[in-house]
Amino acid sequence: MKKYRLGIVGATGAVGQEIIRLLELREFPVAETRLLASSRSAGREYKACGNLETVRETTPDAFQGLDFAIFSAGGSISKQFTEDARKHGCVVIDNSSAFRMEPTVPLVIPEINPSSVEKHKGVISNPNCSTIVALMALYPLHKRFGLKRFFASTYQAVSGAGASGVTELENQARSVLGTSEQTSPEVFPHPIAFNLIPHIDEFREDGYTKEELKMRNESRKIMDHSGLKVSCTCVRVPVMRAHAMSLNAEFKHPVNVPDAQAAIEAFDGTELWDLPNALRYPMPLDYTEKEACGVGRLRLDQVFDNGLALWAVGDQLWKGAALNAVQIAELLIKQNLLRVL
């Protein structure tokens, strides 16, 4: 089997570390794992794919000889170095929002729109974590009933803000419980321990946040559904890992719960956990470090004529970021699409 030389930009961060884990777990055919990060992290050593690797500083020439580079270091780094990677013949899979809405850049969830990668010109974008979890639940229902619009309320774990978000929740929880000194919010705009914050990303003039509009805009692009209507509220919750969301969707055709359950069960990458009388429904603890997304609480919506209400959960560090990126790399290999135009 041919092996490939892979770079990870942001290798020392939360998503970068999960990419390394998943490459190993999925036995990705790696010839070299090149760990790239800021100058502050250069020189650190990490185990990666069976070897002890030294982190290098991300520079324009750091991509020489690589087949892929997965970027997980924020939009500014992606914009700064993506063209350098392409010049070296390296295909970029980008986890940031930098290129998601660019018309020439595919925005890919491999279970949903794998053919989109055929049009890539050296850059492929990973969707936002909440968009991925939502569409892993809604897309199989769309195929069966034809999605018209949906409302989403997301409950997003603190690790979505990085390792510092986890530390802030831990420190604040200790403070509230009286086991440590009081701390002030730094990562989040308000205390997160034992609290909910209905605010993720920057507010716009229309009252929505950028995070909330990602759900609408990215869903339209991924599903090739320009008329899709979406209203979303994103909430940060004091949960360590795995995002959850309540979804209410209206469809073009009459719906029923048994057919909806069958569509979810048949869809690769999504599991049906829907036995409410047995207290069986997906929760963040169940889907932490799990590749699949979980769907439950499926029922007829009492507002929409052809509507379903449902609950979805997925690990935003895995399927919402690292796993989806690795799956895109696997898809490029499978379809023999490792080229830069």
Positions marked catalytic = 129, 243
Is the four-CA dihedral 130, 289, 11, 117 of positive or negative sign?
negative
The answer to whether 139 and 112 have CB atoms below 8 angstroms apart is yes
Cα(78)–Cα(122) distance, integer angstroms: 13
Cα(325)–Cα(71) distance, integer angstroms: 9
198-204: long-range contacts, CB 8 A cutoff, minimum separation 24: 198/233, 198/234, 198/235, 199/234, 199/236, 200/156, 200/160, 200/234, 200/235, 200/236, 201/234
Cα(322)–Cα(11) distance, integer angstroms: 11
Tokens representing 144 are 């069966």
Whose tokens are 């919750």? That residue is: 237
Q: If you write DSSP's letter for every residue of 275-297 in order, what string do you get?
A: BGGGTB---HHHHTT-SSEEEEE
The crossing angle, in degrees rounded to 10, of helices 129-145 and 210-223 is 40
Cα(16)–Cα(34) distance, integer angstroms: 11
Tokens representing 91 are 């295909």
